[in-house]
Amino acid sequence: MRHRHPKQEDFRFVCTVCNRRFTQYTRLKLHKQSCHVVEPQFKCEICARGFKLEKRLKEHRLGVHLNQKPFKCEQCPRAFMRKPLLKRHVEGVHEGKKFKQYPRKKRRKQQKKVDIESSEEDEDTSDSHC
């Protein structure tokens, strides 16, 4: 049986935030969690790092805290938590493929700086309210 491309009427599930349409409710739910949730809903009980997707939290626990990386490179000792990371490694390191470099997100560092600055401001203003 041949795979058919979904028709417009197959996209029944609509995101209420951005109007993007999906053929499955589960895809819509994942989209909302990964694109529209501001605060991470899932926290690691070991290091308190937050994740928007429960799937990423599970990968984090296995890879970071239990050192289980199931996707092993056949050409070197490296191993990865996710298959796309292994694929990118093989293409970039062993096959010489060049990837466009994007600036790394500094969100966590910036957020920590904002948190520190705002707590310092709170301390400064708390004296003036007394």
In a domain, 105, yes or no: no
Which residue in 113, 76, 115 sits closest to 95, CA to CA?
A: 76
Which residue in 63, 69, 44 sits closest to 54, CA to CA?
A: 44
Q: Is the pLDDT score of 110 beyond 50?
A: no
As for how many domains the chain has, the answer is 1
In a domain, 43, yes or no: no
CATH of residue 33: 3.30.160
State which residues form the domain around 24: 9-38
Q: Is the pLDDT score of 125 beyond 60?
A: no
Q: What pLDDT, on the 0 to 100 scale, is given for residue 104?
A: 65
Q: Report the percent of the chain where pLDDT is more than 90.
A: 32
For residue 57, the SS3 value is helix
Answer whether 92's CB lies under 8 Å from 101's CB: no
In a domain, 115, yes or no: no
Answer whether 53's CB lies under 8 Å from 33's CB: yes
Mean pLDDT of 13-31: 89
Q: Report how far residue 33's alpha carbon sits from residue 53's, in angstroms, rounded to the nearest whole number.
A: 6
Q: Is the pLDDT score of 3 beyond 80?
A: no
